[in-house]
């Protein structure tokens, strides 16, 4: 395996902003809403260029969900943006009734997800959001891995009719997937073919999965890396066919172990082909203040942990 490379480090939220800019030019039905976090969500350009289609809601997220749902009546496609904590947990019942149950074409775009939010600490670092959102019937859950993919996903979800949760983050991370890629909702991406273990990763952890696969390859272990950018609907075929070959797996995500991608994959695995599965995720803990990289280290969301758990998973299959 070649050593994985990236062009530059960029934040995924800027990918969202770039995607929204494109939609501003290409889709007149797209409207955007924000709850006093325009700069953090990188919505400045859209807000300036398309002021007639931009809504500043103030610090009132519950109202923002309802207004977004109402805007769909008449054909608008609302993209609402705020921090992941305030876009999910704070407004769960609102999303549940007027977005998911009412099956409205609302795009919930959540930045600063996970522990890499950093210094603001546990009050703002939500690591339960994937679980909360994937439990809602009708809700599509997407967690792209880098700037390019987040931009592509943002553009793609405008074409999909129905509720979507799009999760992205704050820090600059390696931008390594192709520019102007086509994003297909629900289609997992095999980034590296392998036969010894399947590494399923989502969001910021996909890059670490690639690094881990490289390190493992230097030690004679041939890992398969699959980028699960869409957690729901899960690309079941991709998971089942990969584990049929490798017979063991690791799931890596910047989320709690409870309720995350790991749960979804484990469910599929036990129903189809029970094999060892190891988790790289946070085990039933809140986060804390610190620099994103320090937090990823302390909470064991690293390349090294993926390597260690991969070895363990391989050992367990015997």
> Which residues contact another protein by CB under 8 A?
31, 52-53, 55, 57-58, 60, 62-76, 78, 93-94, 96-98, 101-104
Q: Provide the minimum distance between the beta carbon of 53 and another protein in the complex, in angstroms, as a whole number.
A: 7
In whole angstroms, give the CA distance from residue 189 to residue 224: 11
For residue 2, give the DSSP letter.
Answer: P
Q: Provide the minimum distance between the beta carbon of 92 and another protein in the complex, in angstroms, as a whole number.
A: 11
Is the separation of the CB atoms in 262 and 234 below 8 Å? no
- Closer to another protein at the Cβ: 4 or 70? 70
Q: Provide the minimum distance between the beta carbon of 18 and another protein in the complex, in angstroms, as a whole number.
A: 24
- Closer to another protein at the Cβ: 40 or 63? 63
For residue 252, give the DSSP letter.
Answer: E
End-to-end CA distance of the chain: 25
| 240 token code pair | 């089942």
- Closer to another protein at the Cβ: 77 or 249? 77
- Closer to another protein at the Cβ: 77 or 265? 77
- On the 0-12 / 13-18 / 19+ scale of CB atoms within 10 A, 71 is buried
- Please compute Rg for the chain using Cα positions: 19
Pairing of strands 197-201, 230-232: unpaired
Q: Provide the minimum distance between the beta carbon of 109 and another protein in the complex, in angstroms, as a whole number.
A: 17
Q: Provide the minimum distance between the beta carbon of 50 and another protein in the complex, in angstroms, as a whole number.
A: 11
- Closer to another protein at the Cβ: 53 or 255? 53
The total of other beta-carbon atoms located within 10 Å of residue 127's CB is: 28
């Amino acid at each position: 395996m070649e050593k994985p490379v990236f062009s530059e480090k960029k934040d995924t939220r800027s990918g969202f902003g770039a995607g929204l800019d494109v939609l501003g030019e290409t889709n007149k039905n797209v409207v955007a809403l924000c709850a006093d976090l325009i700069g953090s969500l990188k919505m400045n350009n859209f807000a300036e260029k398309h002021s007639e289609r931009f809504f500043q809601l103030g610090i009132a997220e519950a109202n923002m969900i309802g207004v977004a749902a109402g805007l769909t009546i008449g054909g608008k496609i609302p993209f609402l943006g705020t921090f992941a904590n305030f876009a999910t947990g704070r407004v769960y019942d609102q999303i549940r009734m007027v977005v998911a149950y009412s099956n409205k074409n609302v795009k919930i775009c959540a930045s600063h997800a996970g522990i890499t939010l950093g210094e603001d600490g546990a009050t703002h670092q939500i690591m339960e959001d994937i679980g909360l959102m994937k439990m809602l019937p009708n809700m599509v859950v997407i967690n792209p891995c880098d700037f390019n993919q987040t931009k592509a996903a943002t553009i793609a979800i405008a074409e999909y009719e129905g509720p979507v949760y799009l999760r992205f983050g704050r820090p600059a991370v390696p931008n390594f997937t192709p520019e102007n890629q086509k994003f297909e909702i629900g289609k997992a991406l095999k980034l590296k073919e392998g036969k010894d273990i399947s590494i399923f990763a989502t969001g910021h952890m996909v890059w670490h999965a690639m690094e881990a696969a490289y390190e493992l390859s230097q030690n004679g272990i041939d890992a398969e890396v699959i980028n699960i950018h869409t957690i729901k609907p899960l690309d079941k075929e991709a998971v089942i066919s990969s584990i049929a070959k490798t017979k063991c797996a690791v799931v890596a995500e910047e989320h709690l172990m409870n309720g995350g991608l790991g749960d979804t994959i484990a469910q599929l695995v036990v129903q189809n082909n029970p094999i060892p599965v190891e988790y790289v995720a946070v085990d039933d803990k809140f986060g804390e203040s610190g620099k994103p990289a320090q937090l990823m280290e302390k909470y064991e969301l690293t390349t090294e942990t993926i390597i260690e758990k991969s070895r363990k998973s391989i050992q367990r299959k015997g």
